[in-house]
Amino acid sequence: MSAAQDDHRPEAGTDPRAPRRRDAAGTRQLLLESARDLFATNGYRATTVRDISEAAGVNVALINRYFTSKVGLFQACLSGAVNELGAVPRNISLEQISSRITAQLAGVDKARHPHQLLLLLRTSGDEQAEEIRLGILHSFAERLASAAGWEPEDPDSDRMLLHAQVALSAALGISLLRASTGLEPLASAGEQELAEPFHRLITALLSRT
């Protein structure tokens, strides 16, 4: 487990029957993390608020207190995900971005945030949440495209953006298939094995011709 998060977890080693320490920000964070993992892993509908609250070791009613509703919590998860996944330097090379995505796919820091990417494939049916999701996906694709030298006023802008979105689709597809099936050898391929085909894919789609 990561230290950074556990700081918020109220007294990790205490007797669970002891009355809970009061820390609004902490419990909020706890709920957010549990929800993100469960939503990503099992999807929105398959995840119940009781699952989440139980995983966080927190009362169910607090979900509605802090996030208004289940979809409110889901929206918060999405908005939070962009912050962590989004820390990408401005002028990154295609090689670098390919390696980064591969690392995410391989689940390097799986312990902390399992399948963070998967959250972007989960649908809630809520319109507002869908917009957030779409926004994240769009900006991801744009960043991918710009790493390939794309610029907004490019004459065949659409083509490059399309290619980037195809590459993004591939990454997400891999992520989903690895997580939700035992499809071998894909499911248990390490970062090394994954890097080669994925780098090929990126190069084929995005390198300047």
The residues of the shown chain that bind DNA, judged by CB under 7 A, are 10, 19-24, 26-27, 47-50, 58-65, 68-71
Whether residue 52 contacts residue 63, with contact meaning beta carbons closer than 8 Å, is answered with yes
Q: How far is the CB of 66 from DNA (least distance, A)?
A: 8
26 binds, among DNA, its own copies, none (CB under 5 to 8 A by kind): DNA
Least Å distance between CB 127 and its own copies?
A: 11
Q: How far is the CB of 44 from its own copies (least distance, A)?
A: 8
Least Å distance, CB 21 to DNA, is 5
Binding partner selected for residue 65 from DNA, its own copies, none, CB under the kind-specific 5 to 8 Å limit: DNA
* Cis ω before 10 (30° cut-off from 0): no
What's the burial of 122, exposed, middle or buried (CB within 10 Å: 0-12/13-18/19+)? buried
Assess contact for 179 and 41: CB atoms under 8 A.
yes
CA dihedral sign, ordered 66, 69, 71, 72: negative
What distance in Å separates the CA atoms of residue 188 and residue 161, rounded to the nearest whole number?
Answer: 31
Contact partner, 27, from DNA, its own copies, none, Cβ < 5-8 Å per class: DNA
- Pick between residue 39 and residue 198 the one whose CB is nearest to DNA: 39
